Amino acid sequence: MMELIEFLQGELLLTGTLFALIALLIVNIYGEKFKKYVVVDTNSAVSLMDDDELIVLDVRNEKERSSGFINDDINIPMGEVKSKLDTLDKEKNILVYCKNGTRSDHIASLLCKNEFKNVHHLKGGFNAWLKAELPIKK
């Protein structure tokens, strides 16, 4: 046991890296459980669309939307969402998407922090929607 402690003390960079990797692994495994929004796949997103009052929020920029978008969505580019929160109903179901899911994950978290009640994030974003061969508008 003493040898292990001496090794770890002698290899601080290696030890720090090891602990950082362990922490990242734990966050990756258990982080989903602490999110206040629901991560949905394309099938669940389609089911959500049975709600006539669902807000489908596209946070991509105008150039990205030229490749297509989900029917009846609202487009607010990511950089503008914070200043336009008051234009969205906090009580309605909201499905947020972007190109691949990274930006919409961030925006879903932002919405929850601002007391939106029913936030959903489309895992894989518009790319997943296309891959599932679901309808789009251009």
Using the structure block, give the residue that is written with the tokens 């009052």: 53
Which are the catalytic amino acids?
A: 98
pLDDT tens-digit profile of 66-106? 999 999 999 999 999 999 999 999 999 999 999 999 999 99
Same domain assignment for residues 22 and 46: no
Q: Which domain holds residue 60?
A: 36-131
CB 109 within 8 A of CB 37: yes
- One DSSP character per residue, 17-41 reads HHHHHHHHHHHHHHGGGG-SSEEE-
Same domain assignment for residues 59 and 19: no
Is residue 105 one of the residues assigned to a domain? yes
Same domain assignment for residues 21 and 73: no
Same domain assignment for residues 120 and 69: yes
Residue 1 has pLDDT above 80, yes or no: no
